[in-house]
Chains A and B, each alone.
Chain A
Amino acid sequence: MTNHWIDLRNSDCILIMGSNAAANHPISMKWVQRAKDKGGKLISVDPRFTQTSARADIYAALRSGTDIAFLGGMIKYILDNNKYFKDYVVNYTNATFIVGDKYNFEDGLFSGYDPKTKKYDATFWAFKKDEKGIPERDMTMENPRCVFQLLKQHYSRYTVEKVSEITGTPKEDLIKVYEAYASTGVKDKAGTIMYAMGWTQHTVGVQNIRAMCLIQLLLGNMGIAGGGVNALRGESNVQGSTDQALLFHILPGYLRAPTANLANLEAYLKAVTPKSADPKSVNWWQNAPKYVVSLLKTYWGDKATKENDFGYGWLPKLDVGQNCSWLNLFDAMYAGKIKGFFAWGQNPACSGANAHKVRQALGKLDWMVNVNIFDNETGSFWKAPGMDPKKIKTEVFMLPCAASVEKEGSITNSGRWAQWRYKAVDPPGQAKPDGDIIVELMNKIRDLYKKGGKFPEPILNLKWDYTDQKGHFDPHKVAKDINGYFLKDVKIGDKEFKKGDLVPAFLFLQADGSTSCGNWIYCQSYTNEGNNMARRKKDDPTGLGLYPQWAWAWPVNRRIIYNRASVDLEGKPWNPNRAILKWADGKWVGDVPDGPAPPMSDEKAGKYPFIMKPDGVASIFGPGLTDGPFPEHYEPLECPVPKNLMSGQFVNPTIKIFTGELDKHLTCDPRFPFVGTTYRVTEHWQTGIMTRWQSWLVEAQPQMFVEISEELAQLRGIKNGEKVKVSSVRGEVECVAIVTTRFRPFKLGDITVHQVGMPWCFGWMVPKDGGESANLLTPNVGDPNTMIPESKAFMVNITKA
C-alpha cells in the first residue's frame, strides 16, 4: 500500500476491484465504512456479487480477465471529458515527455517485438532526450509524440460499446462507475483503489495494476490522504518477506539479485545505480551503493573488506535472463533437476497453480524439509489419495515450529507498519521457533563445512551470531542487524557517531564499509532510542489517522509515500482540509516528507516529487516493463471468446507457455465452456492449512463448494446443494453446488458466457470429506513480469457428480 488501512477513511471514492475486502480483509471495511459515513462512495467491480458488493453504492460485474478493457474505458472517459487534474499531470508525471521515433503501437503489438523470442526490445520505447541527456518535454502536452497525446491515441479504441462487449458489463454500469470515480480528479477530492489477487493472478497482472496507476495519476490521487494504490496483501508478513527478499530476483531492500555478467562489485554497483542528468530529480536510487555495501557488511561482518569486494563474490549469481520463480521452480523439480527442497511455512501442494504437477514434482525429490505448525498436504504428499508410498523415494523431515504467540519478533502489515509482537508461552511439545530451527540447522551445516566441501567461504564467513547467552535465537539481535550499526567512529555532517551505535536512518549509511545494514528500508526501525516497532503511542497531530508513534513504517516512518505530490508547486496542500504535508516557515510539517528539499517552485533547491523515479516524476508511460509501456487488453490464456475484440493479438504476446506432459491448456474448447475463478472465504486462510485444523472455523465453512448462476444451474439440471464435478483440462474437483444470483451470465454481444467460482482453501487431508484444492484446476501460466500464475481466469466444465 502506498497509503495505509486507517487512511481509507479519508477517501471520497473507494474502488474495490480485484479484491473482496469484506471477506478477506474484514477489518479494512471498518475504515471503508467511516469514509461512507462521511459521504464517500464505495464502488465494487467483481465477476461475482460479493460481501463487498453488498456494502457498495455502485456494483458492476465484469468477466474475469477483462480488467484492462474496463479500466482502459475509464482512461478514455477521463480524457474525453477533461476530468483529469491538469496541474498534477503536467508537473508530476511524464505526460509531457516526448517519446522517441521508434515507439509505435499497431494491432495489439508495441514496436520492438521479436516473435521468435517472444520478447520486446524496450529501447524502442525510450524517451527523446536533449543534449544534456534530460528527457524533452512539451508542457502544453500538444506535441503528437508526447506521452499525453500517445495515451489519448492508445485508449481511443476503448469505447464504452467495445468495452462492454469484452467485459460483459452493461454500458450504463460502466458509465456509472466512470462518472463516480472520475469525480475525484479535482484538488479537494481523493479516490483510492483496494486490489488484491483478483488483479495480480492474470497473464496481464502487472498491467492491470498499471492501468489503475495511470488513472490515479490522471486524477491526481497519488501521494494524498485518501488516495494511493493499495495492494491488500493477504498474509500477515508477506510485505516483510518480500522486503527481506525471500524471492529469487532481489536482495533485501529491493536491490537487484547479482547476475553473472556483473563479475565484481564495481560492475554490480554501476548496474544498480541509475543516473539522472536533471538537477531537479532526487533520483534516490543513486544511493544504492551505500545500501549494497552495508548489506554485504551485515552478511559477512569483518570478513567483508574493501579488498575482497566486501564479499560480493560469495553471493550466487544468476545467468542474465535466468528466471527461478515459482512456476519455473516446480517445472525444474518435475524434470528431476531439483533434489532437495525446503517447504518452510508454506503448502505448495495446495497453493500452487496446476497443483497436480506440484504434487508429482514432490515425488521426484531426494529429500524435503517441511516446517509447519500443522500437518499438511505438502509434507504428507506421499500418502495423498492416488499416491503409492512404496513407489515414492522422497525422504521427508517434518519439523514442528512455534505459532505466532509462541515467539517474539516483528511483522509488517500491508500499510508497511512493522509491528512487534511478544511471546505469550512456550511452544507445545518439541515445537520450537523458526528462528531457532534456522540457527541450529546452519550451525550444523557450518560444522560440516569446517571439515571441507565445495566453496565453503560464504558458509563459514557468514556472520552468524543471532543467539543469546543461553544459545536461543534472539530476535532483538537480528532486528538491530537489519537496522544497521556504525562500525567505527564517524562524523557525518555535524553529527558524530560511535562504533557500535545503531544507525538512526538510512541517510547516514555509507558505501565505504563503515556502516552495516541488513535492509536499508528498515533502517530506523531499531535505534539507540529503542525498538520503534514496539511503540504504542497514539498521538495524531494531523488528525488524519497517521499515528506516527504507533509502531514504525518503512521508509523512515513515512505513512503515505509519494506525499510530496500532495502539495502544489509552492508546497501548499492541494486539499487544505486533508493536509498530510505543507511547507511552512522553511520546513515541511505533517507526515515525514519524501525528502527534505523545498517545494518545486524554489528555483535553486526545489525537487520533483517522485524521488524513487530517475526522472523525478511518475510514469504514465512506463518503458520498464516486459509487456509494453501502456496497458493493453489481451484475453486470458484460457478464455471463452474466439478472438480479442481490441486487436489481432489474442493473448499477451510475452507470456511463457510450458509444454510438458502436465502443462495442458485449452481455449474456446466446447468441453470446457465456462469461465472459472478462485477466491477465499473469511473463515479459512490461504490453503486453509492453519484453519482447517480448527473446529470452530470448520464448523462455519466445512467443505468445498462452487457458486453457479441460476441460469447455468437450469442449463445443466443442477439443484442447490447437489454434488457436482468441476473439471478443467488439468484436473477435477468435487464440489457442493451453490446456486445463486451472485453470479449472472455475461452478455458479450450475441454470446452468453457463464462464470463459476470456487474457494481454494480446501485439501484432501482435513476436514474429512471437505474436498480438494481448486488449484488442481488452475493453469500454470504466469504474468510475464512477475510470473504470478493466472489463477483467476481459466476454463472449466461442470457436471453432476
Chain B
Amino acid sequence: MEVTRREFLVFTGVAGAGLALSSLGINMGPVKAYAAEQKKIDKIKTAKQSTTICPYCAVGCGLICSTDTKEKKIINIEGDPDHPINEGALCAKGAGLFQTTANNPNRLKKVLYRAPGSDKWQEKSWDWALSEIAKRVKATRDANFIEKNAKGEVVNRVEAIAHVGSAALDNEELWPLQAMMRALGLVYIEHQARI
C-alpha cells in the first residue's frame, strides 16, 4: 500500500469519516492503512523490545526498537521515555530511524565489485571480495613499504594505502579497526573528526 507518512497522518485524523463513506465507493486505501497500523500496535504489544542510541548527532538520545519475534523484523522505533537526555523526545531524523532498517528498500544488501573501466557493478560473495581485498592490501603494502626515511631512521610505514572513517562505528569496532590499520603500517588514518 503506497501511503506517504504525511498522507497517513492526515488520513488517520479523519479515519472515522472514511469508514462511514466507504459504502459510497470512496477509496478505502487510507482506511486500510489505519487498520494496518492498528495491527502493528497489537504486534508491538507482543514484540521484543530493545534499547538503542540514536546514530545521528552526538546528543546520544535513547530509543526503543520493537521487533516482531516471528518475522524477525523491526516493526516500530520510538523515543525512550526513560532516557534522561531526551526523555522520549526525538528530532525528525531520530523519529525516522525506522527507515534506516531493512524496511528501507534502498539498503545495500549485496557485496558489489566494479572492475577497472567498467560501467557497472557485479554481485560477488563475501569470501571472494575479502580475499581479493586482502591480496591487494598485501601487494600494495609490500611494493610500497618504507623501511627507512631520508635521514636513515627506521619508520616501517606504508604511505600507499589510506583509510578514512568512521564516526558511525561502535567503539568496539573502532579499536580493532585502528589496530589493524596500524599493524599494516598505515599513517594516513583519518575520519570525520578532521573535517
Judge whether B42 is part of the interface by a CB distance below 8 angstroms.
no
Instruction: Report if A424-B50 is in contact (Cβ < 8 Å); known contacts: A324-B188, A329-B188, A438-B173.
Output: yes
Selected from B82, B108, B132, the residue in CB contact (under 8 A) with A375 is B108
Judge whether B134 is part of the interface by a CB distance below 8 angstroms.
yes
- Do B164 and A344 have beta carbons less than 8 Å apart? yes
- Do B111 and A400 have beta carbons less than 8 Å apart? yes
Judge whether B141 is part of the interface by a CB distance below 8 angstroms.
yes
> Min CB distance, A229 to chain B, in Å?
15
Selected from A345, A407, A432, the residue in CB contact (under 8 A) with B126 is A432
Give the distance in Å from the alpha carbon of A686 to the alpha carbon of B175 in the complex: 23
B residues sitting closer than 8 Å to A (CB atoms) are: 4-6, 48, 50-62, 65, 67, 72-74, 77, 82, 84-87, 89-94, 96-97, 99-102, 104, 106-119, 121, 126, 129-138, 140-142, 144-145, 147, 149-151, 153-195
**5 CB-based A-B contacts, threshold 8 Å:** A247-B194, A405-B97, A409-B171, A410-B172, A411-B170
Q: Which B residue sits closest to A463, measured CB to CB?
A: B179
Question: Cβ of A238: which chain B residues have Cβ within 8 Å of it?
Answer: 58, 167, 191-193
Selected from A5, A240, A248, A409, the residue in CB contact (under 8 A) with B190 is A248
Q: Which B residue sits closest to A460, measured CB to CB?
A: B183
Selected from A344, A389, A482, A694, the residue in CB contact (under 8 A) with B119 is A389
Question: Cβ of A367: which chain B residues have Cβ within 8 Å of it?
Answer: 133, 136, 140
- Do A522 and B102 have beta carbons less than 8 Å apart? no
> Min CB distance, A348 to chain B, in Å?
6
Give the distance in Å from the alpha carbon of A326 to the alpha carbon of B90 in the complex: 32
Question: Cβ of A444: which chain B residues have Cβ within 8 Å of it?
Answer: 130-131, 133-134
Give the distance in Å from the alpha carbon of A424 to the alpha carbon of B68 in the complex: 10
- Do B135 and A395 have beta carbons less than 8 Å apart? no
Question: Cβ of A232: which chain B residues have Cβ within 8 Å of it?
Answer: 57-58
- Do A538 and B82 have beta carbons less than 8 Å apart? yes
- Do A400 and B110 have beta carbons less than 8 Å apart? yes
Selected from A351, A400, A445, the residue in CB contact (under 8 A) with B107 is A400
Instruction: Report if A438-B180 is in contact (Cβ < 8 Å); known contacts: A344-B165, A454-B141.
Output: yes
- Do A695 and B99 have beta carbons less than 8 Å apart? yes
- Do B160 and A237 have beta carbons less than 8 Å apart? no
Selected from B5, B117, B145, B150, the residue in CB contact (under 8 A) with A454 is B145
Question: Cβ of A239: which chain B residues have Cβ within 8 Å of it?
Answer: 58
Judge whether A6 is part of the interface by a CB distance below 8 angstroms.
yes
- Do A343 and B116 have beta carbons less than 8 Å apart? no
- Do B101 and A418 have beta carbons less than 8 Å apart? no
- Do A247 and B190 have beta carbons less than 8 Å apart? yes
Instruction: Report if A260-B154 is in contact (Cβ < 8 Å); known contacts: A371-B165, A374-B106.
Output: yes
- Do A478 and B184 have beta carbons less than 8 Å apart? no
Instruction: Report if A326-B195 is in contact (Cβ < 8 Å); known contacts: A373-B107, A418-B171, A445-B138.
Output: yes
Give the distance in Å from the alpha carbon of A393 to the alpha carbon of B115 in the complex: 8
Give the distance in Å from the alpha carbon of A413 to the alpha carbon of B58 in the complex: 5
Complex interface residues of chain A between 230 and 249 (CB less than 8 A to chain B):
232-248
- Do A317 and B154 have beta carbons less than 8 Å apart? yes
Chain A 400-434, CB-CB to B under 8 Å as 1, else 0, gives: 11011111111111110111011111111111111
Q: Is the interface of B mostly helix, strand, loop or mixed?
A: mixed
Question: Cβ of B90: which chain A residues have Cβ within 8 Å of it?
Answer: 27
Q: Which A residue sits closest to B73, measured CB to CB?
A: A425
- Do A244 and B178 have beta carbons less than 8 Å apart? yes
- Do A445 and B178 have beta carbons less than 8 Å apart? no
Judge whether A391 is part of the interface by a CB distance below 8 angstroms.
yes
Q: Which of A98-106, A581-589, A786-794 interfaces with chain B?
A: A786-794
- Do B53 and A236 have beta carbons less than 8 Å apart? yes
> Min CB distance, A57 to chain B, in Å?
23
Q: How many residues of A contact B (CB 8 A)?
A: 169
Give the distance in Å from the alpha carbon of A345 to the alpha carbon of B61 in the complex: 21
- Do B101 and A346 have beta carbons less than 8 Å apart? no
- Do A5 and B113 have beta carbons less than 8 Å apart? no
- Do B55 and A448 have beta carbons less than 8 Å apart? no
> Min CB distance, A141 to chain B, in Å?
37
Judge whether A377 is part of the interface by a CB distance below 8 angstroms.
no
Judge whether A396 is part of the interface by a CB distance below 8 angstroms.
yes
Q: Which of A83-91, A219-227, A333-341, A623-631 interfaces with chain B?
A: A333-341
Give the distance in Å from the alpha carbon of A314 to the alpha carbon of B97 in the complex: 42
Q: Across the A-B interface, give the 9 residue pairs with the lowest CB-CB distance, nearest first.
A: A429-B109, A345-B166, A413-B60, A409-B170, A344-B165, A235-B167, A238-B167, A316-B157, A444-B134
Instruction: Report if A30-B195 is in contact (Cβ < 8 Å); known contacts: A235-B58, A404-B52, A693-B104.
Output: no
- Do B106 and A699 have beta carbons less than 8 Å apart? no
Selected from B117, B144, B163, B188, the residue in CB contact (under 8 A) with A344 is B163
Give the one of A233, A424, A440 with max B CB within 10 A: A424
- Do B60 and A236 have beta carbons less than 8 Å apart? yes
- Do B108 and A391 have beta carbons less than 8 Å apart? no
- Do A522 and B156 have beta carbons less than 8 Å apart? no
Q: Which B residue sits closest to A261, measured CB to CB?
A: B153
- Do A697 and B93 have beta carbons less than 8 Å apart? yes
Judge whether A113 is part of the interface by a CB distance below 8 angstroms.
no
Selected from B164, B178, B195, the residue in CB contact (under 8 A) with A353 is B195
Q: Which A residue sits closest to B158, measured CB to CB?
A: A316
Question: Cβ of A430: which chain B residues have Cβ within 8 Å of it?
Answer: 109-111, 126
Instruction: Report if A428-B134 is in contact (Cβ < 8 Å); known contacts: A5-B59, A232-B58, A244-B171.
Output: no
Given contacts A434-B170, A441-B130, A693-B104, 14 further A-B contacts (CB under 8 A): A27-B85, A236-B58, A246-B163, A260-B153, A340-B161, A389-B118, A404-B53, A404-B55, A421-B51, A438-B173, A441-B134, A545-B84, A685-B57, A696-B99
Q: Which B residue sits closest to A439, measured CB to CB?
A: B176
Question: Cβ of A352: which chain B residues have Cβ within 8 Å of it?
Answer: 195
Judge whether A28 is part of the interface by a CB distance below 8 angstroms.
yes
Give the distance in Å from the alpha carbon of A352 to the alpha carbon of B191 in the complex: 11
Instruction: Report if A382-B58 is in contact (Cβ < 8 Å); known contacts: A440-B130, A459-B184.
Output: no
Give the one of A261, A263, A455 with max B CB within 10 A: A455
- Do A405 and B155 have beta carbons less than 8 Å apart? no
Question: Cβ of B50: which chain A residues have Cβ within 8 Å of it?
Answer: 405, 422-424
> Min CB distance, B138 to chain A, in Å?
5
- Do A392 and B151 have beta carbons less than 8 Å apart? no
Selected from A263, A371, A449, A690, the residue in CB contact (under 8 A) with B153 is A263
Selected from A243, A313, A429, A695, the residue in CB contact (under 8 A) with B4 is A695
Instruction: Report if A248-B187 is in contact (Cβ < 8 Å); known contacts: A395-B116, A425-B101.
Output: yes
- Do A449 and B191 have beta carbons less than 8 Å apart? no
Give the distance in Å from the alpha carbon of A536 to the alpha carbon of B80 in the complex: 12
Judge whether A683 is part of the interface by a CB distance below 8 angstroms.
yes
> Min CB distance, B158 to chain A, in Å?
7
Instruction: Report if A317-B153 is in contact (Cβ < 8 Å); known contacts: A427-B102, A448-B135.
Output: yes
Give the one of B61, B86, B168 with max A CB within 10 A: B168
- Do B182 and A315 have beta carbons less than 8 Å apart? yes
- Do A787 and B194 have beta carbons less than 8 Å apart? yes
> Min CB distance, B124 to chain A, in Å?
8
Give the distance in Å from the alpha carbon of A476 to the alpha carbon of B172 in the complex: 8
Complex interface residues of chain A between 655 and 680 (CB less than 8 A to chain B):
none
Question: Cβ of B137: which chain A residues have Cβ within 8 Å of it?
Answer: 340, 445
